Chains A and B, each alone.
Chain A
Amino acid sequence: MPSATLLGQSLLSGIFIGGLYGLLGLGLSLSWGYLRLINLAHFALAFLGAYLTYQLAGVAGMHILLAVLIIVPAFFVLGVAMQWLFTRFSVGEFASLLVSFGMTVIIESAIQWLWTADMRKLQLEQGTVSLQVGTLFVPVTEALMFAVAAALSVATWAWLRFTYVGKAMRASAENPEIAAAFGVDHRRLALLLSGVAAAYAGVAGTFVAVIYTLSPAQIFAWMGVVFAVVILGGLGNPLGVLVAGLVIGVSESMTMAVIAPTWAPLVSFTLLILVLVLRPDRI
């Protein structure tokens, strides 16, 4: 049985990676929940964001915040463009799965072509700073990531809950016709939401770049887990995604600590299978 410190450290790292899962899942959950589009390209976008961060902040030596300021709006535009494409070709829910997969493959190839399959690591001086709290080490960047993930989740929840545009989004998802009868322009909302989701992917990507080593193959490695998070959290539920991310992140890291690292995927996928079979109306 591992020591209390190890367990505590695992718990902490589980929470942090849970935050990242939540952040990655947030955009996907929004487009699936409100636009009925399963946008696999979300992952590719996140990694594109990661590589761009690497390029701008690492290779070109820009300040990391400047890189973020460039990437996030650019990705917003990309998101809008993608949604425009989906609408233009009347892509339905299932077709969106396949089309976005095609996009993912294209983006992944582009990444590999530009940056090769070699591992890339962004080295930041502040990147590896850790605070010591008791016997536990708290890596600052990861804690910051968790804070950002939580903040974005709450902000999105608040936006959906309290603003007119957010309410219009929810109403339109339930009954687009009647919402239109009261003045809601669904197309414009869809473009907005898609842009926001893509921007979130960009933010997730910058954190991935700072914390992890990058390689193109990883795009696919994260897909399964993040899908599990999105479905468990409930489509279109920003707080749910965060909570589901935490649940899966912590149970994975505890499994890694107590049993063995390689058993970790079993946890999330078994949970996913159970939810899909027992509660299929979650989707």
Chain B
Amino acid sequence: MRWQYRAAAFVCVAAVFAALPAFRPPAFVESFLYLVFFWVALATSWNVLSGYSGYFSFGHGAFYGTGTYATAVLATRYEIPFVWTLLAAGLMAALLGVVIGAVVFRVRRLRGELFALLTLAVTYVVATIVLNTRIDGGPGVFLSGVSPPKLYPNAGSTIYVFGVGIAFASLATAWAVQYSRLGRGLFAIHDDEDVAEVLGVPTFRFKLAALALSSFLAGVAGGIHALFVTYVTVSETFAVTVPVFVILMSVLGGARHWLGPAIGAAFITALSYAFVSGESAVASRALIGLILILVILFLPHGVMGFAASRWRLFRQRPPESDRVAATPQERPAAPGRAAGAVLLSCDNVRLGFRGVQALAGVSLEVREGEILGLVGPNGSGKSTLVNAISGYYRPDFGRILFAGEDLVKKDAHRIARLGVARTYQIPRPFLRLSILENVALAATFGAAALDRKAAHREAGHWLRFVGLAERSPALPSELNLHQRKFLELARALACRPRLVLLDEVLSGLTPAEITSAVALVREIRRRGTTIVFIEHNMRAVLELVDSLVVLNYGEVIAQGLPREVVRQQDVVTAYLGAAHA
């Protein structure tokens, strides 16, 4: 269905719900539906950051609470019209979110549990501040005097309509994000943030953007809810209910889909409502706890996730049709032997970890259009060098010049944009994206920076190149090692890099597979990409490379023509070992 039709349907549904009070339903229907929409808004807004990117926040209560108190205080003490307080509520919550994000997302490799606890702690801090300052001070805030604009004669119905509004605004946001570049970046971050960064996704910016959106929506929902409850206290507002329920609802409904949290919200709210009186309230809480456990254990991707996997099986799409589309621009094929200008040069690069000097002053040059082999015994620093060039590690000393720019101080995603790509020795595909999406992501965020349609075409092209085109809709877990290595290759190439670093592409392959891989590497060079080829398989290396660099103990011990280098005594010793008397 074209997105315009979907959008129209969306608006119609919203309108229907908004018009409901005109039909004079019984009071409890409005209340109940309001609560459903309230939770839809909260859960969906939470999901935009946490479900999509995997950074589970336990602090949604802080944003919601900020919004609640913003409205409560501004409307009562400063008599600002309700609607404006909502804007303020959203902005203040968003500001809080951005401040937290700016500090916390800069901490490298902040793991999931840490982020969860940090955000929980923030909630308690905000609650304490609110309780102890003039904002609340203790007794709570009464909003009885505040009246919303008269959309309906009945204040309750008006609040209901605001609820509908924020719910659908949240859903629209989640929907828009899911299918946007931001969303695709967030999903990549979810699966493997380091790889996403290396492919060109600006991870810090994207996480911050998602957090800002998420907290804004939560703040507005909080502001509306202040008017609904009319009496706001710290203990109720900042209770652990909000953070926990939104997690449960999103996980139950499916955290990877914009509609998932809404499904979960509707279900859980209905369940709580059904048990609203006395003893049954306790039973309903126990039931909710049990549901949480069962969902985590048996349905970890939620209802929508389950539905999506069934749908995928049902509808295995045929590969992208072979249009006579523009093949990606081939750079003029470089002459057979390396004769181009220097593309990459490492100048006395040093890198140490915890007392081990992994790179002890590495200097080498890679010329445009050549295949440079990088070899050395185990632990000699080959992978470390690749990590340093691609931006995952920052060297302690030295320069890495690529097309005139020093890469040493740049973020990995900027290095990717400049045209450097790499593969991993053990393939690291995005496990929850299809093969096509894996490659398309690289085309979107890499040096090529293509839009969605063009990225898909590009992806299709590279998948055909490596021979995986028929498996486009499959998930990486369905591929064997050989295919996953080729997927890795296709993904690296879809960035349209000037330089690609291949890290032990051949390891684990059978001799026949090695032959086809070597042919592919040759073809890649023929199309104009410069290659640094890290390998242990010396036979393949000697067949393929124009120039050979040997590392040992973090230093370059030889560089030059392969046949000559391999015969040098110190190289032989490094590999075979010296025989001592």
Q: Give the interface of A toward B (CB within 8 A).
A: 38, 89, 91, 93-95, 97-99, 101-106, 108-110, 112-113, 220, 223-224, 227-228, 231, 260, 262-263, 265-266, 269-270, 272-273, 276-277, 280, 283
Secondary structure type dominating chain B contacts: helix
B305 to chain A, nearest CB (A): 15
Q: Using an 8 Å CB-CB cutoff, how does the interface string of B284-325 with A read, 1 for contact, 0 for none?
A: 011011111100110010000000000000000000000000
Q: In the complex, are the beta carbons of A263 and B113 less than 8 A apart?
A: no
Interface contact B282-A112, CB-CB below 8 Å: yes
Distance (whole angstroms) from the CB of A188 to the closest CB of chain B:
23
Report whether A113 and B125 are in contact in the complex, using a CB–CB cutoff of 8 Å.
Answer: no
> Are B132 and A277 neighbours in the complex by a CB distance under 8 Å?
no
Name the CB-closest residue of B to A114: B282
Please state if A94 and B113 are interface contacts (CB–CB under 8 Å).
yes
Contact with A along B97-136 (1 / 0, CB 8 A): 0000001100101111110111011101101110110000
A105 cross-chain contacts in B, Cβ below 8 A: 285-286, 288-289, 292
Q: Which residues of A contact B239 (CB under 8 A)?
A: 220
Contact of A101 with B124 in the complex, beta carbons under 8 Å:
no
Residues of B within 8 A of A95 (CB): 296-297, 300
Shortest CB-to-CB span from A158 to chain B, Å, is 29
- Taken together as a complex, chains A and B put the C-alpha atoms of A91 and B120 apart, in Å, by 22
How many angstroms from the CA of A112 to the CA of B283 in the assembled complex? 10
Known: A273-B118, A273-B122. A101 touches B286 (CB 8 A): no
> A95-B297, A283-B113 provided; 13 other pairs, C-beta below 8 A?
A91-B297, A98-B292, A99-B292, A102-B291, A105-B286, A105-B289, A106-B293, A108-B285, A227-B117, A262-B131, A270-B125, A276-B121, A280-B114
> CB-CB < 8 A to B532: which residues of A?
none
Q: In the complex the two chains form, is B297's CB within 8 Å of A273's CB?
A: no
* Given A269-B128, A273-B122: A101 in contact with B292 (beta carbons within 8 A): yes
B residues engaging A (CB < 8 A)?
56, 103-104, 107, 109-114, 116-118, 120-122, 124-125, 127-129, 131-132, 138, 239-240, 244, 247, 251, 279, 282-283, 285-286, 288-293, 296-297, 300
> A39 to B373, alpha carbons, bound, how many Å?
50
**Are A104 and B289 also in contact (CB < 8 A) when A98-B251, A273-B121, A277-B107 are?**
yes
Chain B: CB-nearest residue to A106: B289
Q: Which 5 A-B pairs have the closest CB atoms?
A: A105-B289, A109-B286, A102-B292, A102-B293, A106-B289
Distance in Å: Cβ of B564 to nearest Cβ of chain A:
42
B-chain residues with CB within 8 Å of residue A262 when the two chains form the complex: 128, 131-132, 138
Q: Which residues of A contact B279 (CB under 8 A)?
A: 113
Q: Pick the contact of B244: A38, A101, A266, A272 (CB < 8 A).
A: A101
A102 lies within 8 A of B116 (CB): no
Contacts of B297 in A (CB 8 A): 89, 91, 95, 99
Distance from B98 Cβ to chain A, minimum over Cβ atoms (Å): 16
Minimum distance in angstroms from B54 CB to a CB of chain A? 9
Determine how close the nearest CB of chain B comes to the CB of A78; give it in whole angstroms: 16
Give chain A residues whose Cβ lies under 8 Å from the Cβ of B107: 277, 280
Residue of B110, B125, B127, B283 near A280 (CB, 8 A) is B110
> Could you tell me the distance in whole angstroms from the C-beta of A230 to the nearest C-beta in chain B?
10
A106 CB, nearest partner CB in chain B, Å: 4
Nearest B residue to A105, CB-CB = B289
Residues in B with CB closer than 8 Å to A106 are 286, 289-290, 293
User: Which residues of A have CB within 8 Å of B283?
Assistant: 109, 113
CA–CA, A93 to B138, complex, Å? 38
What is the bound-complex CA distance between A276 and B240, given in angstroms? 21
Highest count of chain B CB atoms <10 Å: which of A94, A95, A266, A273: A273
Whether A113 lies near B282 (C-beta < 8 A) is: yes
How many Å lie between the Cα of A279 and that of B279 in the bound state? 46
In the assembly, what is the distance between CA of A99 and CA of B295, in Å? 9
Evaluate contact between A228 and B121: CB separation under 8 angstroms.
yes
Query: Can you sample 28 A-B contacts with CB below 8 Å?
Result: A93-B113, A94-B56, A94-B112, A95-B296, A97-B113, A98-B247, A99-B296, A99-B297, A101-B292, A102-B290, A102-B292, A102-B293, A104-B289, A105-B285, A105-B289, A105-B292, A106-B286, A109-B283, A227-B120, A228-B121, A263-B132, A265-B124, A265-B128, A266-B129, A272-B118, A276-B114, A276-B117, A280-B111
Bound CA span A95–B138, Å:
36
- Chain A's nearest CB lies how many Å from the CB of B193? 14
- Neighbour of A277 across the interface among B103, B288, B291, CB < 8 A: B103
Q: How far is the CA of A273 from the CA of B118 in the complex (A)?
A: 6
* Given known A-B contacts A260-B132, A262-B131, A103 and B293 have beta carbons under 8 A apart: yes
Contacts of A283 in B (CB 8 A): 111, 113-114
A227 closest partner in B (C-beta):
B117
> Could you say which of A102, A223, A227, A280 has the most chain B C-beta atoms within 10 Å of its C-beta?
A102
Is A38 a contact of B113 with CB atoms below 8 Å? yes
- With a 10 A CB-CB cut-off, give which of B104, B107, B122, B132 has the most chain A CB atoms: B132
Task: State in angstroms the CA–CA spacing of A283 and B300 once bound together.
Answer: 25
Distance (Å) between the CB of A237 and the closest chain B CB?
Answer: 17
Minimum Cβ distance to chain A for residue B120 (Å): 7
Point out the residues of chain A lying under 8 angstroms from B124, CB to CB: 224, 265, 269
**Cα(A269)–Cα(B109), bound, Å:** 21
Interface centre among B138, B251, B293, by most chain A C-beta atoms within 10 angstroms, is: B293
Closest residue to A276 on the B side, CB-wise? B118
Chain B residues with CB under 8 A of A227: 117, 120-121
What is the chain B residue whose CB lies nearest that of A93? B113
A103 in contact with B289 (CB, 8 Å): yes
* Contact residues in B for A224 (Cβ distance below 8 Å): 120-121, 124
By beta carbon, the residue of chain B nearest A231 is: B117
Roughly how many angstroms separate A30 CA and B151 CA in the complex, as a whole number?
A: 57
Complex alpha-carbon distance, A262 and B112, angstroms? 30
CB distance from A247 to the nearest CB of B (A): 16
Asked if A269 contacts B289 (CB within 8 A), the reply is no
Whether A109 pairs with B117 at a CB distance below 8 angstroms is no
Shortest CB–CB separation between residue B59 and chain A, in angstroms?
11
Please, which residues of chain A bring their CB within 8 A of the CB of B292? 98-99, 101-102, 105
List chain B residues, Cβ under 8 A from A109: 282-283, 285-286, 289
- Give A108 to B104 CA distance when docked, in angstroms: 33
CA distance A94 to B112 in the complex (A): 7
State the CA gap A15–B314 with chains docked (Å): 63
Task: Point out the residue from A104, A113, A263, A277 that lies within 8 Å of B128, measured CB to CB.
Answer: A263
- A273-B56 contact in complex given A108-B285, A109-B286, A227-B117, C-beta closer than 8 Å: no
Q: Which residues of A contact B288 (CB under 8 A)?
A: 105
Residues of B within 8 A of A113 (CB): 279, 282-283, 286
A95-B296, A99-B293, A283-B111 given as contacts; is B116 within 8 A of A266 (CB)?
A: no
Q: For the complex, give the distance between the alpha carbons of A276 and B125 in Å.
A: 14
> With a CB–CB cut-off of 8 A, which chain B residues contact A89?
297
**Distance (whole angstroms) from the CB of A225 to the closest CB of chain B:** 9
Contact A266 B122 (CB under 8 A): no
Cβ contacts under 8 Å, A280 to chain B = 107, 109-111, 114
Complex contacts, B56 vs chain A, CB 8 Å: 94
Whole-angstrom distance from the CB of B102 to the nearest CB of chain A? 11
Interchain CB contact (< 8 A) of A98 among B118, B128, B131, B296: B296
